[in-house]
Amino acid sequence: MASDPASSLAAPCRAYSYAAFAFLVHNIEELTGLASWIATLELSIAIPAVQMSRAIIGLTLAGMAVLVVGRSVPHRAVQIVVALVVGMLLANVVSHVTLSFVTLSYMPGTATALALVLPAGLWLYRNLPLTDPARLTAAGVGVIAMAPVTWAALWLAG
């Protein structure tokens, strides 16, 4: 039995949409509790809740914009940027799990990171129209860029 060409094309498109949805839901969970969680930690720096909210909203809009454009623009350069975002999403999952473990407390966003962002990021990574090493390299750069991009967003939001 021949496969339906329309359904084979739909899977990659759904991967972009699922990743955007997962990122949105994840960041809503972060917005509802991350600032207060950070306030309970003994840190040498304080991040005001308003600044944190602005940064999360800015990162959400930017990430979703990349995923939406990536869904409809198959150009290689666009897909490399999508792979960068996927790398950042996967690094974010690791950071949530690690910080929850290190602080022995639940970091807001960990549940949605594991339940939504991790499978969405892996599905999208697998379906990106890039071959390795470009896909792997771009996602790896995204992993490395996650922390500086987050700090830049916090700085811009301040």
The pLDDT score that the predictor gives to residue 60 is 95
CA–CA dist 18, 101 (Å, integer): 27
The pLDDT score that the predictor gives to residue 10 is 53
How many of the other CB atoms lie within 10 Å of CB of 35? 18
pTM of the model: 0.88
Q: For each of the chain's 158 residues, which pLDDT tens digit applies?
A: 444 444 444 557 899 999 999 999 999 999 999 988 988 887 767 788 899 899 999 999 999 999 999 999 989 999 999 999 999 999 999 999 999 999 999 999 999 999 999 999 999 999 998 888 999 999 999 999 999 999 899 889 88
Tokens of 78: 């666009």
Give residue limits of the domains in the chain: 11-157
CA–CA dist 92, 56 (Å, integer): 12
Tokens of 131: 């071959």
Helix H segments across the chain? 5-40, 49-72, 76-103, 110-112, 118-127, 134-157
pLDDT tens digit sequence for 56-99: 999 999 999 999 999 999 899 999 999 999 999 999 999 999 99
The pLDDT score that the predictor gives to residue 70 is 94
